[in-house]
């Protein structure tokens, strides 16, 4: 039995990553009633010290179980079995579409000019928000919209989809690029993870029916909480 209170044996030569092994062992402990509603799981530091693994490994294991709905993080308290968090500490589990962090007006950058088809002197509105459940952000969303499509008088608590639909600017085409990146120090701070944590970067440009580019959007999802699915169809030859 180690200091974490679990009899864990991680195989460092196995093909399965250590954080996945650790998540599996923790899940086994949950299934066997090792932790009750009032018991917080070992912290990242405790797991790291007891098992001689990095804190990033411990963090990824806990994050993976949170993403699967097995655990729930309570800010300032700890990580508990999902559905059994003490009521006095339970966070709201109601999903939030976005929580605005910042907005600014400025001249379009070279990337924005190219992506949105703007003139070099054009002005754009930049908005940054966090998405996820209350107290547990899962993605950072950075949107850039030409000023002519979004005057400053807009209610900034309105999400982009609702705003564009209200204006009659329904998007009919979307260009998307997906790639894996590592979290910068600022992204890590916003998402509550360690610098270098795996993120899924989704870059999108949406277009209106008339062909205008409405928005350039960069979304950085926590890698352990992102699920991406694509359906491909072959068009029969004529």
pLDDT in tens, the chain (238 residues): 343 455 566 777 667 788 888 888 888 888 777 877 677 888 888 888 888 888 888 888 888 887 777 888 777 778 888 754 443 443 444 444 456 677 888 999 999 999 999 999 999 999 888 887 656 788 899 999 999 888 755 555 566 777 777 777 777 788 999 999 999 999 988 888 888 988 999 999 999 888 889 999 999 998 766 666 666 667 666 5
Query: Is domain 95-225 annotated with CATH 3.40.1410.10?
Result: yes
Please tell me the CATH code under which domain 18-81 is placed. 1.10.10.10
Q: Which long-range contacts (CB under 8 A, 24 or more apart) does 53-59 make?
A: 53/10, 53/18, 53/22, 55/194, 56/194, 56/196, 56/197, 57/18, 57/19, 57/22, 58/19, 58/22, 59/193, 59/194, 59/197
How is the chain split into domains, by residue range? 18-81, 95-225
């Amino acid at each position: 039995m180690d200091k974490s209170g679990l009899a864990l044996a991680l195989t460092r030569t196995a093909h399965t990553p250590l954080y996945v092994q650790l998540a599996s062992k923790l899940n086994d402990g949950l299934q066997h009633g090792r932790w009750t509603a009032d018991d917080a799981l070992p912290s990242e530091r405790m797991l790291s010290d007891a098992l001689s693994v990095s804190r990033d490994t411990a963090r990824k294991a806990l994050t993976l179980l949170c993403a699967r709905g097995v655990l729930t993080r309570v800010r300032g308290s700890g990580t508990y079995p999902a559905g059994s968090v003490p009521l006095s500490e339970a966070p709201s589990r109601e999903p939030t579409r976005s929580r605005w962090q910042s907005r600014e007006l400025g001249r379009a950058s070279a990337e924005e000019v190219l992506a949105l088809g703007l003139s070099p002197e054009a002005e754009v509105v930049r908005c940054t928000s966090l998405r996820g459940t209350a107290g547990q952000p899962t993605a950072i969303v950075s949107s850039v919209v030409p000023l002519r499509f979004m005057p400053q008088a807009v209610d900034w608590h309105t999400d982009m989809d609702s705003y564009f639909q209200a204006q009659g600017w329904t998007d009919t085409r979307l260009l998307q690029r997906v790639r894996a990146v590592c979290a910068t120090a600022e992204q890590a701070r916003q998402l509550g993870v360690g610098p270098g944590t795996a993120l899924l970067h989704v870059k999108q440009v949406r277009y209106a029916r008339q062909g205008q580019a409405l928005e350039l959007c960069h979304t950085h999802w926590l890698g352990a909480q992102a699920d991406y699915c694509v359906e491909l169809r072959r068009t029969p030859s004529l």
